[in-house]
Amino acid sequence: MAQEEQDVFKDVKVLTISEVFVLFERNMDVWRRRDPDYQPSAMLQKAAEYAGRFATNKNKDTVQKIREMLAARNLSELELGLVANLAIETPDEARKLVPTLEVRCRYSDEELDSMLRELATYREFE
């Protein structure tokens, strides 16, 4: 990737599928309140259905707590999105699916396991 292309994405914020679902729900409610006859476009409807199907959490507060928990672990935006979206279960799986976690001095197996168990707890109570 050329330097110019990298600079374009330098400050991008990665959203989890659950965050996208919450945004769709909130915005569609606003649009429907403004116009009771509102019908989203076919593409918007498909995107909302996809987010609803694959969102691991649909409660706004839970989704926010997940982001805060993962951000507090000093994950990059991309790492945060991948860990939240992929339903990773083990430290070994985390390192294979998110190659930047491979650097062992960054997170021990115990630290990764603790993070993944906490994330699984949020999914259980959804």
Convert the pLDDT of each residue in 4-53 to its tens digit. Answer: 656 666 777 899 999 999 999 999 888 888 998 988 899 999 999 999 99
Over the chain, what is the mean pLDDT? Answer: 89
**Would you tell me which CATH number, out of the four given (3.30.565.10, 1.20.120.1760, 3.40.50.720, 1.20.1250.40), belongs to the domain 60-124?**
1.20.1250.40
CA distance 100 to 28: 36
- Domain limits of the chain? 15-54, 60-124
CA distance 55 to 45: 15
Assigned token pair, 57: 């959490």
By the 10 Å C-beta count (0-12 exposed, 13-18 middle, 19+ buried), 63 is classed as: buried
Assigned token pair, 54: 């694959």
pTM higher than the cut 0.95: no
DSSP labels, 42-97: HHHHHHHHHHHHH-S---HHHHHHHHHHHHHTT--HHHHHHHHHHT--SHHHHHHH
Q: Which amino acid is at 42?
A: A
